[in-house]
Amino acid sequence: MSHGHAPPPTEFQLPNAPADGISSLTFSPTQPDRLLVTSWDKTIRLYDVSQPVLLGQYETAAAVLDACFAGTSPKRIYSGGLDPVVRGWDIETRTQVSLGTHEAPVKCVKFADAHGVVVTGSWDKTVGLWDPRASAATAVGRYMQPERVFSLDVVDHTIVVAMAGRHVFLYDIRNMKETLQRRESSLKYMTRAVRCMPDGRGYVTSSIEGRVAVEFFDPAPAAQAHKYAFKCHRQVVQGVDVVYPVNALAFHPTQGTFASGGSDGIVNIWDGFNKKRLRQYPKYPASISALAFNCTGNWLAIASSYTYDEGEKEHPADAIFIRPISESEVRPKLPHPKA
């Protein structure tokens, strides 16, 4: 492996990595060893990381930007990308159905377990809800946003939508006609990622300017007093402070701590409540474009994939590393207060 990244003996690389930029990583919510990978090479790949082996590859007409599993159903996945079709796939037969279409690329695809619907965010400035069980492939609803959707996440009944123009909107999926809260990002620069806390208390966002913000849903002043932002993914190069985009965020499913990945090739583990960095892993060969913990929290998938921050140039091959995670790496030093 180039660029001096010496992985510990337990970390390994997945075979048959995508041939172009890696846009997303998503583990199954029920099968700890099943990982979905989407890529600009127009594929969705399904791996069994315990082997490790490529189980299936699904080809589309355009770059794929995101995909998700159908909640607890191990047989279906959903995807979206540059051709603005929201697709459902049968993992075993590899047949696909169209759930519907956006007017511009589909940037985010999530599954709302509690409601059995697919939630999409698009550059057409809408959020879509799609019921895969409906006979006619039409949206349950399309909801206009003030700007293009860059990232979204779902926890319980709440959808968090991060957009261009630093808008962050919160919705209750049971009443999409009204916005629950309209916020402005705490970060001055463009949002790259948003991820919800698994306990449903809040979310974290990251920006292109080496910062992460920790936010809480409860609008009460006492809860809002706990929000904060911090600098990360920066280094001094020849006396100059170089700041990198923070492209990826992922929460550990049980510990409440989270990982961040930047264009500096670095992955950090943070304890957001206690405002501490728990770990920094050795530099990966390229930018970190995506991160995901599995449902049991004992594996972290890391996409080392150039994100074109500096335009076209020679760069290391796209790669997916699987890092076994011990509890000591992700456990908070002090217990988190109960929600």
Q: Which domains does the chain have, with CATH numbers?
A: 12-330 (2.130.10.10)
Q: Encode the chain (339 residues) as per-residue pLDDT tens digits.
A: 445 565 555 899 999 999 999 999 999 999 999 999 999 999 999 999 999 999 999 999 999 999 999 987 879 999 999 999 999 999 999 899 999 999 999 999 999 999 999 999 999 999 999 998 876 656 689 999 999 999 999 999 999 999 999 999 999 999 999 999 999 999 999 999 999 999 999 999 999 999 999 999 999 999 999 999 999 999 998 999 999 999 999 999 999 999 999 999 999 999 999 999 999 999 999 999 999 999 999 999 999 998 877 777 788 899 999 999 999 999 998 888 776
Which tokens go with 110? 């999530």
Q: What is the DSSP letter of 316?
A: P
3-state secondary structure of 50: coil
Q: What is the pLDDT of residue 196?
A: 99
Q: What is the pLDDT of residue 135?
A: 65
Q: What is the pLDDT of residue 1?
A: 41
Which tokens go with 195? 């991820």
Q: What is the pLDDT of residue 7?
A: 53
DSSP run (H or E) holding 330: helix 327-330
- Name the residue with tokens 């806390």: 197
User: What is the rounded distance in angstroms from the CA atom of residue 181 to the CA atom of residue 5?
Assistant: 43
Query: What count of other Cβ atoms lies within 10 Å of the Cβ of residue 15?
Result: 11
Q: What is the DSSP letter of 166?
A: G
Q: What is the pLDDT of residue 2?
A: 45
Q: What is the pLDDT of residue 6?
A: 56
